[in-house]
Amino acid sequence: MAVYTLNSRITIGDFKPFIGVNEVVIKRSLDDHANTAIVKLPITARLKESGKAQTQSVMTANSFSVGDRITIELGYNKELRKEFEGFIRRINMTTPMELECEGWVFQLREKDINQSWESSSLKDVIEDIVEGSGIVVEDIDNINNLVI
């Protein structure tokens, strides 16, 4: 009988990856344009600085900000697979604390498009929309005379 041990590694911003959390829920759907995740962490944590014996207590929520990048890797027996990559959308000060996360669409949520196209390809319009977001456009057929 095989024994499986659930493992996780969650990287938020520049912090050293977390290897344990209270709960992780990831939602993906073909019917929705945005992948989402909720990560539950303790409301307080004990931090230990390298080379020091003493620890300090910190409010976990004060360590993160809306917009921080997050990567969630999950797996069994230390064989991890990237399951989610996105950004913190909301920090809920509940017990345990919840980080509501959203995939790459988060980068476009507050973007204003102040441009019009008289004649353009679909690929050019989408590239203008995602410019500066870190989103890469691939495999879109070049359609001329796009009507919006």
pLDDT of residue 57: 83
Grouping H, G, I as helix, E, B as strand and the rest as coil, residue 65 is coil
70: containing domain = 6-110
Average pLDDT over residues 119-136: 79
Residue 68 lies in a domain: yes
pLDDT tens string 69-80: 999 999 998 899
Number of structural domains found in the chain: 2
Residues 62 and 134 placed together within one structural domain of the fold: no
Q: What is the pLDDT of residue 109?
A: 81
Residue 35 scores a pLDDT above 70: yes
* 44 in a structural domain: yes
Q: Residue 85 sits in a domain of what CATH number?
A: 2.40.10
Same domain, 17 and 76: yes
Higher pLDDT, 29 or 93: 93
Q: Give pTM, 2 decimals.
A: 0.77
- At residue 31's C-alpha, the angle toward residues 119 and 65, to 5°, is 85
1 in any annotated domain: no
Check whether 95 has a pLDDT greater than 90. Answer: no
When the pLDDT of each residue in the chain is averaged and rounded to a whole number, the result is: 83
- Residue partners of 38: CB distance under 8 A and separation at least 6: 23, 24, 25, 98, 99, 100, 101
State the chain's maximal CA–CA distance in angstroms: 67
